[in-house]
Amino acid sequence: MDERMNEESPVLFEERPAGAFRLGIATLNAPRTLNGLSLDMARLLDERLAAWADDDAIAVVVLQGAGEKAFCAGGDLHGLYRSMQAYREAGHTDIRENRYASEFFAVEYRLDYRIHTYPKPIVCWGHGIVMGGGMGLMAGAGHRVVTERSRLAFPEISIGLFPDVGGSWLLHRVPLRTGLFLALTGATLNAGDAIYANLADIHITSDRHDAVLDGLAAGPWSSDPGANARTVDALLASFASPAAPGPLQAHQASIAAIVASGSLDDMTRGILGMEGDDPWLATARDALAAGAPGSARLAYELQHRAGGMSLADVFRLEYVVALHCAAHGDFMEGIRALLIDKDRQPHWHPATVADASSAWADDFLKATWDAAHHPLASLGAPTVPGATPQ
């Protein structure tokens, strides 16, 4: 069955015969915006993934992006900006009153969590730019493919947000705690570094894409998801090639020493003081220097909390923090400077890391509902007492 006849749809769905089973293919279809994840996209994808999970004939799912530039470069920043502008002009004070932001983050996070917990193999073809919301889609897939043109990052510090979409949980698991460096600098990873950082699984050159899909369609598949996952692993391995180490690995010793210092102030000074003319390192330093101090603090606090929380609890906490960022944080100012006025001169509040204290961050961690009424309560019971903000 092929549902690509509506080429204007924000997500294209196709089902290919795969022996006695079928291969489900979902393609993000907004190449002009680098497949930025809109609310409509997220709804459509979540609905279809739910249907495919219940369809015994679907053995494997492929998630990919249209065009050659990006799998998914982020979320719907323009829509979120308009919602924040309306919220503030109306004088609202309850973070739940931004209806668009509340729905967008809830739908996006439910979708990301579904991918993390999907009962069948999902292959994510992470070609080109994979950032922000794209990281959320890719991170939970059981088989995350990167190519020679993949560029992965959590660049939220530049727009006054924080690495959400489960980023606190993901970056906490990067070797040597260097996920803190990635959050504070928005540093971009190539294929080799993405695999090293546990943000991708395997490198396959982009010219093998069609052959991989043909191989997936050939199977063999069964009704056993575990056996199918092993078959996918073997198939992808047959197309794989080594990925050269990237700059994260080249600088891992010095980065690890800096993030081991413990204090956010010390980490910031250490990163800004790193020596060397490596362009990747210089870009990272500049991004931290120009980024939102509040975003740095929130990323730091969330990663420290993520270590003792389940993924579902992390999504619930990130949801609360995201709505606070939309209500009274620097998120609106960051989008204004980058995409609306394009002056690239954001005015951050707080203006320094020293002002962005732990006490300042506490307000962003408070929910305005109890755990039972949290919009993401259905993601599973909290596994750590008190993990969901009260």
Report the pLDDT value the prediction gives residue 261, as an integer from 0 to 100: 82
Best CA proximity match to 295, nearest among 351, 254, 378, 253: 351
Report the pLDDT value the prediction gives residue 381, as an integer from 0 to 100: 55
Residue 189 DSSP one-character state: B
* Joined tokens for residue 218: 């050939």
The Cα 287–Cα 137 span in angstroms is 24
Report the pLDDT value the prediction gives residue 262, as an integer from 0 to 100: 79
The Cα 235–Cα 378 span in angstroms is 35
Q: What is the mean pLDDT of residues 8-15?
A: 96
Report the pLDDT value the prediction gives residue 147, as an integer from 0 to 100: 98
Report the pLDDT value the prediction gives residue 6, as an integer from 0 to 100: 64
| Contact between residue 176 and residue 235 where contact means Cβ atoms under 8 Å apart | no
- Interhelix angle 77-89/99-116, rounded to 10 degrees, is 140
More confident site: 197 or 385: 197
What strand order describes the sheet that includes 151-153?
Answer: 70-72, 129-131, 151-153
| Contact between residue 154 and residue 133 where contact means Cβ atoms under 8 Å apart | no
More confident site: 390 or 109: 109
pLDDT in tens, 157-192: 999 999 999 999 999 999 999 999 999 999 999 999
| Contact between residue 45 and residue 33 where contact means Cβ atoms under 8 Å apart | no
Report the pLDDT value the prediction gives residue 319, as an integer from 0 to 100: 98
Please report, rounded to a whole number, the percentage of residues in the chain having pLDDT higher than 70.
96
* Model confidence at 26: pLDDT above 60: yes
Per DSSP bridges, beta strands 143-146 and 70-72 are: unpaired
* Model confidence at 390: pLDDT above 80: no
Best CA proximity match to 252, nearest among 228, 229, 278: 278
The Cα 154–Cα 333 span in angstroms is 18
Q: Which residues contact 389 (CB under 8 A, 6 or more apart)?
A: 316, 317, 320, 365, 366, 367
Please state the pTM of the whole predicted model: 0.94
pLDDT in tens, 297-341: 999 999 999 988 999 999 999 999 999 999 999 999 999 999 999
Residue ranges covered by each domain of the chain: 11-379
Query: What is the DSSP track for 124-136?
Result: EEE-SEEETHHHH
Question: 369-376, long-range: CB within 8 Å, 24+ apart, which pairs?
Answer: 369/96, 374/316, 374/319, 375/102, 375/106, 375/319, 376/106, 376/109, 376/110, 376/113, 376/312, 376/315, 376/316, 376/319
342 vs 120, 345, 358, CA distance in Å? 43, 8, 31
Best CA proximity match to 9, nearest among 37, 30, 38: 30
* Joined tokens for residue 250: 């080249």
Q: What is the mean pLDDT of residues 230-245?
A: 97
Strands (E), the chain: 11-18, 21-28, 58-65, 70-72, 122-126, 129-131, 143-146, 151-153, 202-203
* Model confidence at 3: pLDDT above 60: no
Least confident of 256-265, 295-304, 343-352: 256-265
70 vs 67, 109, 213, 217, 246, CA distance in Å? 7, 21, 18, 24, 20
Please report, rounded to a whole number, the percentage of residues in the chain having pLDDT higher than 90.
92
Best CA proximity match to 329, nearest among 297, 367, 370: 297
Assign domain 11-379 to its CATH superfamily. Answer: 2-enoyl-CoA Hydratase; Chain A, domain 1 (3.90.226.10)
pLDDT in tens, 40-87: 999 999 999 999 999 999 999 999 999 999 999 999 999 999 999 999
